[in-house]
Amino acid sequence: MSERFRVAAKKNDDVDIVFFIGRLDVTSAVQAEEFIQNLIETGARKIGIHCGELSYMSSAGLRVILGSFMQIRELDGDVRLSNLKPEIKEIISMCGFDEVFSIYPDDIALIESYSS
């Protein structure tokens, strides 16, 4: 049985931290995309995606984070990543996304990066 995907968020000052939990694949990508889209539509411009609870990310998941990045950049915002497990970091690096996204070891560093 596959692990159910969940998504949640918390706001820290003006930074929205999105928690992806479980498997981010073709079946869960729509849920993730709609969640981030809702944040953007309600004014979020500084988004951090916490990947520490992700057990798997497919190309559909990569498309979600890249699409979010491109959309929010048009609005003078940014999407940054934190807490990447080694297997998720490897996927991000293999696709060259480590050259696109700012990546931080934890949420504190990510939040502080928006202040500097």
Residue 14 lies in a domain: yes
**Sheet of strand 46-57, all strands in order from the earlier edge strand to the far edge:** 6-12, 15-24, 46-57, 78-82, 103-104
Residue 1 lies in a domain: no
Report CA 35 to chain centroid distance, whole Å. 11
pLDDT digits (tens, 9 = 90+) for 37-93: 999 999 999 999 999 999 999 999 999 999 999 999 999 999 999 999 999 999 999
- Report how many domains make up the chain: 1
pLDDT digits (tens, 9 = 90+) for 82-109: 999 999 999 999 999 999 999 999 999 9
CATH number, domain at 19? 3.30.750.24
Residue 37: φ, ψ to 5°: -55, -40
Q: What's the N-to-C CA distance of the chain in angstroms?
A: 44
Domain that holds residue 96: 6-113
Global pTM reads 0.93
Closest to 76 in 3D by CA, of 114, 30, 36, 116: 114
